[in-house]
Structure 1
Amino acid sequence: MPSRRPAPATAPLRRTAATLAAAALALSLAACDAFPGARQDNDEQATPSAAAPTLDPAAIAAAEQVSVDPGWLCRPGEGEDPVPSREGGTMTPRTVSAAGNEVTISGDFALEDGAAYGGFAPEALVLPADPTARGLPADGADVEPGTPDSPVPPMVVRARVEVPAGAEDGNEDATDGGATDEGPARAPSAVTARLTLGTCDDAPLPDGQYLLRLSGGGMEGSGRQAERSGWTASEDVMVDVVEGRLRAVPGAVSSTDGEIPADLSSLACGTELAPVGDGDGLAVRAEDPTTTIPAEIPRDSVGDGARARVTVTSTDHGTRALLAGIVVTDPATGTITAGARNAQAIPLQWLDAEGATTGETAWTTHGACHGALSPGTYRAQAFAATVDAEGATHLVLSEPWDVQVVPGDGAD
């Protein structure tokens, strides 16, 4: 993207990178000295300088940002994509953090054969996420950006940290493109993209769940160098905006299948049903519950069970691990007889002020803990399970209601 890059902005970063590179080299040598018996043959011991450089996250966090002009996105059709090609390399996101309007994403970086490294100037296309299909943009959002028919993105990059080629090596003598007397600048093996997001009309960030489609290029701006230095991320990165502030999504890059490990042993067959933990801000209620269930599978039906509309709300809005459902217990013992769960993970779901409402069923004509439930009186409750920031599982229960399992298949 076009940008104005004041000269003083890059000098502190170069000096910081140089200091860190020197410190890393000293530590590497000290580590070698700690093993006096280690072989020192040149053909068997790699020198620290042979390793690919990295963009240190601490240096990026301390660096000054430069402004970015998002006009080509804010006024679709009136500008050109500032990155001519994104085929030159790949960034693989590993960690995500966010605060206020800033998001920082670190990960591995690799250029394709024949690509050139001209510095690191990240950008991002922000797409609204589909709340029902993790990792996919909302319907109509995934179109070519900047074209006359494309929508204005909900957010755009307004500022970023740019790293000139050669700064990763602490090279203060790098010329255009980072080249020195020792040859062209080397591409880093790990990078950190620090971006400030805003809106085209300077409004507060809109609440919701979004995907950041990271890409970028060198700092040359045009020509053959720019065409060979463009890169893209291996996957979109999910972030939340809650009350106008960015928030990292748990498991956004570590749980690409969209599920968070959880301990659901409290929902196992034969377990005495009871809340677990303090609920982590969740509340659950059941509406329109069934109170009478046939003992046999009704004709032309897949089965029957305790049904209800289950609504989960939270005092803390945003994307979180959430599993909702219904369990049936034996009122004499309080143990689970139907609706048990034995999964080892919980899916991520967006929760706003309205919460999330789903239709749930605890099957009783089949799939119960001991086949089908026999006629009699049972107790049903809706539940909501979540995982907090420390990885602990919480289980919240609704008010119970009685269900009658009656003989037959319910046919008149």
Structure 2
Amino acid sequence: MCVTMCACGLVWCTCALLATLLASFGLIMVPGIEQAAARLVFTHLSGRPLSIAGNVITARHFTYCLGDYLGCVKDEAARDMVNLFTWETGIGEFVPFSPSQLMNGDGVLPLHFSHAAYREVAYDLLAGRPPDMMVFSNKTSLPAGVMPDFEPDILLNLDTGSEEHTNRRKLLADMLPALAKDRSSGDEHFRVPTGVEASAAVISGATMGGLKRKVFDTVGYNLFDWLFEVNVENELAELFEYDGILAPIVLGIPAMSFQGRRMAEIRMTAFDKVTHSRVGKAFMRAADDRGMDGEKRLSEMVWIAMFAGYGGTGNLAFETIKRILTDPAKYTALFRSDPEAFMLEAARLHPPVAGMNPMAYRKDTHHNLATV
């Protein structure tokens, strides 16, 4: 009898606890309550407690936004930063929903969210980059195939202003015609790949998933054409698959070995095409002439093109079209009046990457957060 009563009591307490947790999580779905909860968390907690509670807040954002990280979660997090730390301060704390970050650190990162604060840190030569991070994933926990095939250290891991960083950037600028400062306007010929229709009726009638694929196919087709003068029309499905695997990894979600192998297969297909192109051959020759390993540097560039180029530009284009579709008449007129200004504003509102990788400062910065 006693055992039965104890078991029933344990079950009842467990259910009551779960119900309380679910009810509390449900309450922070309300924006006003969430903002109050975030203020309590970031004001009174630190270290591991802040990391745990901050992950609950970030999990709330993912739930509230139905997983739309670029189109909604980042906006929710930004709203918290502004309310907590103000635009004038411009520097706050952020807890990414990253299992990799939790396993390899406390998970609480400084966030430079205002334009002035971001520019200050982005141009600071003492703002180093940790060699073991790929955005929110620790590279030591990544399976083979996720990072470039011949060398895992990429530009994201090199300190701004270091000799190696400068040399690699100069190689890209010198040898990729699409990045040339003196290129003539209109040199690029924009093309729509087979199977993608650009009519207003097709766009407005497409599902978000279908629309995203059309946008990414168009971006990928033109990106590889402009950068390397190669045609990847037959590889567009694989490029989309690749980005679908990589996107969660960037946010710190663990990857499986088979996913790493698949990424390597897809990337090697693109790399093989690029190595046989006129641009690819010239790129490797120039790298060799400068004392670099041409194959490694081209492999890195293909990795960058598939991550920041295909994924970053694709998501920016997709989020911009989503914004246009909320009021087509208004936003179409704005775009046509000044396309460059429109896209700069779209990039400000929906930055797919925002140029940030976790930092490893070469100086003491505790005073930055002590004043917020």
Name the TM tier (shorter chain).
under 0.3
| Larger helix fraction of residues | 2
Give the greater-gyration-radius structure (CA).
1
What is the TM-score when the length of structure 1 is the normalising length? 0.22
